[in-house]
Structure 1
Amino acid sequence: MEAGPVFTTSAVVASCFGFVLIGALQALYGPSIPALRDDFGLSPSAAGLGLSAHFAGGVAGVLLFDRRFGRTGNRRILAVAYLLMAAGAAGFALAPDWPVALLAALLAGIGFGGIDYGLNRLFATGFGRRSTAMLNILNAHFGVGAILGPALVGAVGAEHYPALFLAFALANLPLLLCLRGVKDHAPQPAPADTGDRTPVGAALRSVLAVFVTLYVLHVGIEAGVGGWEPTHLESVGYGAGAAATATSVYWLMMTVGRFLAAPIALRFSAQTIITVSCAGMTACLLLAAVPDLAPYAYAGVGLFIAPIFPTGLPWLSRVAPGARRAGAIVMAASMLGGVAAGPALGKIIEWSGVGAVPLILAAVSAVCLASTLWLTRTTRRPSP
């Protein structure tokens, strides 16, 4: 095995820029819908299939690239993922018809999934006790990209979406040069004495199932707030502009929360951080049911939900080191949670009304809190 750190400083910087790119690419599809409808003669639902194809590719990419980890060098895996995302983004920009554009979005999504999974996995184990902090920084850059993408569409106009997709495709290519700073075959670090215990057999399967539940539900809340906050705020008397601004603040606070979580992760355990996050998220969603407090409460949701995804991965790696595919299953499930959140919430809202959005999400958040408490109790090493 190669000695030395898993990432050089330049490779860390390039990885963070890679996460800016995947965040921006994912966020480009929605603001481009008006132009896509004009170019291809699509209905709103058909135009929305671009993002669905991207997410479907993301799930496939996570599962496909997971099968190659340990068999193929890290540099080659990440290089293939960057090239697939670049090819898919360029294909989407230049597609002559909608079926070809959907295939290109699927291809870009496969590369997206490989980058998302590959870098999260390497960051989860590549920095020792600093891994949780570094994962929060890495994923914060995804938020930077998610904010940047729609801002660029707004600046240049939706009709120029092909130029933006091409620009992001080309921006992947210099990152290939920085892969020399990634250790090709990184050994698994020795488990630290964190007070966690490793469950086995049926107990391990239960732990993995609850981790999947936590990830599916919290990503569902993340997507649910992002998708339904504007509608809820407008239903309680806020103008469309104010509602849109409040939703932008929600995404901004999620990015800020991950940067803030990095130093906190050096002092507190993953269990503590996620427990506080779920409790704070639940409280803020309950407060969002009060119209005067709703915009501020949703900003609080963004702040509290921010550390959950990146902080849970090192915890999972520690308590299930033998379950090689655990991280891939959890990440793929989280993407499915984001896809399912919109239709599922829509159905519930049909009979409960838009005003119930924060209370519905608060109930889901309470399940996240209960899951975290159960995981903490189950994986805590008994006192001698």
Structure 2
Amino acid sequence: MSATSEADLPEAGSTGRPLLTTVAITASCAAFVVIGALQALYGPAIPALREEYGISPAVAGLSLSAHFIGALLGVLVYHVLRGRLNNRLLLGGSYVLMAVGAAAFASSPNWPLALAGTFVIGLGFGGIDYGLNQLFAVGFGRRSTAMLNLLNGHFGIGAIAGPALIGWLGAEDYPQIFVGIGVISLLILFTLGGVAAREPEPTPAEGAAAGGGARVLPIIAVFVGIYVLHVAIETGVGGWEPTHLEAVGYGAATAATATSAYWAAMTVGRFVVAPLSLRWSAPSILTVCCAGMAGFLLLATVPSLAPYAYFGVGLMIAPIFPTCLPWLNRAVPSVAAAGAYVIAASMIGGVAFPPLLGAVIDTMDVKTVPLVLFALAVACAVLSLWLRRNAPDPGGVTGRGGAARTDTAAA
């Protein structure tokens, strides 16, 4: 193994220092545990919300909708302000918003104010999600894909821990949990000195599409398509796996356990791919993951294999979001909004697709769920092959030896 080279170190900010110190990296991972837990807490808290505010299940479910609307707006606001305010101020404001929203949600005397609290939580959530993903995408050179997988793996830890915490303490204690999350958000503010104020100006690498080139918009559009499709599959499996498994003969407990295992696979997959991304290129990882999604969804049509196949789907979906983001930044470095587009697209897909899939399932047998999702996975695989050919990964890892070179140089 060769000695650590300059390319392996974090990118320097405008002051010549790394974009994130070790303390800031650790705090960022903690922040992703927090936002993962927050997103997963609303569902388990619904029984307590209904009892406290005297609302129906559908009205209680608006808490998650308000959260996602706020998150989408948070991404867009953060992006618009990136050129005017520095990273520390934007991230700090996002942590404060999340803490204020959590406190408001926990202590609101009525449902409209509680709903407003979830919207404010979402604003902070979106800023943190976008801001940290962008910093990790550009801050570690060739290791950005590995670091992004680690960062988003911690989101999964939070998503598993949040409901477990409510299960342990009881749904009626959700206010204390939200207040605790707000306190942790405020504590993270003390680590922002380890975040560079600004990122370096992007420098187009060999093989990258020029800012005004005709290929830029199609490349971004295909990345957006992949993000929408993979999130559609992710939420589709998460929402319909229990129903499908029960329809093919499994008990409710087995179906619930298999679905929990699917979400756990989403976390495991990111930690597994982190070291692999140091040896394999982003295009290769994406192609394998899309093909793997399709293959496992096809296996899910076989009742005896379905629970295990869904676990495999989770493993394949896991690396797509964190693997594509640094590749996108390298492929179109002059389009600062590209990251905002795909992160916003993933949020829109998460909100819009479940009811669309539900409408499709209403016209078909629920046993066709894997086939419907298989068709989406095939489309995702086709888009991944187009990107592999038309958006080479400049500066990415393209071989087993881990040497950095551009795909065009290898051609």
Compute the TM-score of the two structures, normalised by the length of structure 2.
0.91
Contact 1:215 1:333 survives alignment (8 Å): yes
1:320 maps to 332
Rounded to whole Å, the distance in 2 between the matches of 1:256 and 1:196 is: 31
Larger relative helix fraction: 1
Q: Which runs of 4+ in 1 moved over 3 A?
A: 188-193, 195-202, 380-384
- Per mean C-alpha deviation after superposition, the further-off stretch among 131-140 and 200-209 is 200-209
Count of aligned pairs between the two proteins:
383
Rounded to whole Å, the distance in 2 between the matches of 1:364 and 1:229 is: 16
State the identity as a percent: 58
Contact 1:198 1:318 survives alignment (8 Å): no
Rounded to whole Å, the distance in 2 between the matches of 1:267 and 1:197 is: 24
Matched, 1:288 2:300: yes
Shift of 1:200: 4.1
Compute the TM-score of the two structures, normalised by the length of structure 1.
0.97
Rounded to whole Å, the distance in 2 between the matches of 1:261 and 1:114 is: 25
Matched, 1:105 2:118: yes
Gaps of 5+ in 1: none
* Matches for 1:58-207 after TM superposition, within 5 Å: 58-188=71-201, 190-191=203-204, 196-198=208-210, 200-207=212-219
2:15 maps to 2
2:272 maps to 260
Matched, 1:48 2:61: yes
Shift of 1:90: 1.1
Q: Which amino acid aligns with 1:79?
A: G
SS at match of 1:202: coil
Rounded to whole Å, the distance in 2 between the matches of 1:181 and 1:175 is: 11
Matched, 1:374 2:386: yes
Rounded to whole Å, the distance in 2 between the matches of 1:89 and 1:121 is: 24
1:308 maps to 320
Selected match of 1:210 from 222, 225, 235: 222
Matched, 1:18 2:31: yes
Give the direction of change, closer, same or farther, for the CA distance of 1:143–1:95 in structure 2 (3 Å limit): same
Contact 1:128 1:189 survives alignment (8 Å): no
Rounded to whole Å, the distance in 1 between the matches of 2:239 and 2:356 is: 12
Contact 1:127 1:134 survives alignment (8 Å): yes
1:275 maps to 287
2:398 maps to none
Measured on the aligned residues, the alpha-carbon RMSD in Å equals: 1.4
Contact 2:228 2:346 survives alignment (8 Å): yes
Gaps of 5+ in 2: 1-13, 393-406
CA shift digits 1:169-210 (9 cap, x unpaired): 1111110001111111221364555x5554744321111111
Rounded to whole Å, the distance in 1 between the matches of 2:88 and 2:177 is: 27
Q: Which amino acid aligns with 1:278?
A: C
CA shift digits 1:132-151 (9 cap, x unpaired): 10000000000000000110
CA shift digits 1:70-125 (9 cap, x unpaired): 32111111000000011111111111111111111011000000000000000000
Rounded to whole Å, the distance in 2 between the matches of 1:274 and 1:199 is: 24
CA shift digits 1:256-300 (9 cap, x unpaired): 100011111111111110010000011001101111000000000
Matched, 1:229 2:252: no
SS at match of 1:330: helix
Rounded to whole Å, the distance in 1 between the matches of 2:221 and 2:209 is: 17
SS at match of 1:329: helix
Contact 1:70 1:185 survives alignment (8 Å): no
Rounded to whole Å, the distance in 2 between the matches of 1:2 and 1:344 is: 48
SS at match of 2:214: helix
Give the direction of change, closer, same or farther, for the CA distance of 1:58–1:132 in structure 2 (3 Å limit): same
Rounded to whole Å, the distance in 2 between the matches of 1:289 and 1:189 is: 46
